[in-house]
Amino acid sequence: MNYQLNTLDFIVFLVYFVLILSYGYYIYKKRQTKEHDSKAFFLAEGSLTWWAIGASLIASNISAEQFIGMSGNGFFVGIAVSAYEWIAALSLVIIAIWFMPIYLKNKIYTMPQFLQVRYNETVSLIMAIFWLFLYVFVNLTSILYLGSIAINGLLPGQNHLHEIMICLAIFSVFITLGGMKVIGYTDVIQVTVLIIGGLATTYMALAMVSEKFGVGGGIVEGFKTLMQQAPEHFHMVMDKPTQSSPQEYIDKYMILPGIAMYAAGQWIVNLNYWGCNQYITQRALGADLPTARRGILFAALLKLLMPVIVMLPGIAAYVLYKNGHLNHLVGGMDGAYSAVLAFLPAGFKGLSLAALTAAIVASLAGKSNSISTIFTLDIYKKYFAKDASEQKLVRMGRWFVIIAMCISVLFTWDDILGIGGAGGFTFIQKYTGFISPGVLAVFLLGMFWKRTSGTAAVVGILSGFILSLFFNEFAPTVLGNETFLYTAFPDGHGAYKIPFLIAMGLSGVITVLLMVIVTLAGPKINPKAFAIDKTMFKLDKTTLVLVVSILMILSALYIKFW
């Protein structure tokens, strides 16, 4: 079997490459008269349609950490990792109904701007710096590293890692320099390629399972075989380990700690990511409310599909590997997706590579644009060039895209941050989790409790970070391995750790309590509070149908795989 790309695969990939760049250039030329308008560059001047918003949200979200990292977790743990996707769909419903009206009514364009309008400049500056470091040193680096690893595994010789990094960086920079409108509309093509290529990979993986186990060549038989061969991989909620549990099971539970992760951790991850994240919200902030809501709910429907594309191939890889049919798997669980791609026939590997590249480039471009937006509008314009022209702001934004990408390549070159050792998806979730509890607490209380003060917001951001660091790294040593708050488990290296989703939940709850205490000790009236009108949250019939459909599908999935 030929595990690598051939001429037809490269032709298919080249067609994708030319299509994206050509369409991006066409969109850029259409809006060239506004290329020096900062709102046009950073926010697409409010011209994205609902389907472009939804597609862009998914294209920017589904990247190497999902294709490679989540597929790897599917290989290791199973369907439980789908919680990240399915709770995300429910979080998007919450954000569409309750978050977006507040953002749009108050003309919020960046997340640091929200913090300044609602609290004060100190809170805004602290978080702008936090976000820049997180986006550059966690998100950009991990997307670039995991994507390069995956593509490298398909190329002859498998020794082109650094060349791939450079090519991905350059490709994404070209897309980003066109501005958010170019990103948004090229993302429609990206997500189409992503879904078609991803479904093709899943189809071939299930067909290969059914063939190898002699049950025919159908995908239904393949799926049934997966459930028979790995029944432990088809439960959404894992039982808590006991003293007799093997280390491998404990490691799985550390990633997805049973029902406890739904108490707070999963909600903090998803509400923060989808509702308080410049990288995501930026797509909808330039639209009117009905368009923004429908775009977000369209993204929620697509999120329900994502585990089929990014998780199921990992379970197929596990079953094939366990039974000696995947001897070419390299790189541990993060190599599962690339190993499955090897089974695809000529042309389909190129299509799947195009899907993977689409996901990587879309995420890198979207993240780079958000980094540029925060730096230019919330730091450069406010503190270094208050009177800068629109042209100068756009030029600075473009330069910072290039700088951020160069930094990410530098730190990814030899995996200085240890992304490969942690497992890509877990790396991102864990280190994002250091600031997520504080950020979400500040946003939620700022939106829905008028009394919340700026002092409480500073306390929330700092305490959220400190508490996350404490529970993740030091709590077992200081407080013991078993308390009424948590149970710490052996990590296989002589230490005890709290599952990071539990640590995140504890940090979030305590942070909210601290913010409430600080606020109650201050003035009873906060003049910077947002005015909330209940009519803001009313839904039209189309939006209501979308919401009900999402809730029904989600309920059915959890009933089936609980």
For residue range 234-278, what is the model confidence (pLDDT) as tens digits? 999 999 998 899 999 999 999 899 999 998 889 998 999 899 987
Q: Is 221 among the domain residues?
A: yes
Mapped onto helix, strand or coil, the DSSP state of residue 482 is strand
The pLDDT value given to residue 1: 47
Q: Determine the distance from the C-alpha atom of residue 53 to the mean position of all C-alpha atoms in its chain, rounded to a whole number.
A: 16
Instruction: Provide mean pLDDT across the span 331-348.
Output: 76
DSSP states of 415-470 as a string? TTT-HHHH-HHHHHHHHHTTTHHHHHHHHHHHHH-TT--HHHHHHHHHHHHHHHHI
Alpha helices per DSSP H over 135-262: 141-152, 161-176, 180-212, 219-229, 247-255
Spatial CA neighbour of 308 closest among 206, 445, 397, 239: 206
Assigned domain for 61 exists: yes
pLDDT score at 141 = 86
Longest Cα–Cα distance in the chain: 72
Q: How many domains would you assign to the chain?
A: 1
In a domain, 349, yes or no: yes
Residue 142, domain extent: 7-106+138-241+284-374+383-420
348 CB contacts (<8 Å, ≥6 apart)? 200, 201, 204
The reply to whether 146 falls in a domain is yes
> How many residues are listed for the chain in this entry?
562
> What mean pLDDT is reported for the chain?
85
Calpha distance 494→424 (Å, rounded): 23
User: Is there a domain that residue 212 lies in?
Assistant: yes
Is the Cβ–Cβ distance between 307 and 85 less than 8 Å?
yes
Q: Is residue 302 part of a domain?
A: yes
Specify the CATH number for the domain of residue 51.
1.20.1730.10
Residue at 113 is within a domain: no
Tokens of 107: 């003309």
Q: Which helix (H) or strand (E) holds 490?
A: strand 489-490
CB atoms within 10 A of CB 176: 27
d(CA 27, CA 48): 12
DSSP-based three-state secondary structure for 497: strand
Q: What is the pLDDT of residue 236?
A: 92
Residue 148 tokens read as 């390069």
Share of residues in the chain with pLDDT > 90 (%): 38
Q: Is 57 inside any structural domain?
A: yes
pLDDT single digits (tens) 461-488: 999 999 999 999 999 999 999 999 999 9
Q: Are 152 and 353 in contact (CB under 8 A)?
A: no
Question: Which pair of tokens denotes residue 189?
Answer: 């093509």
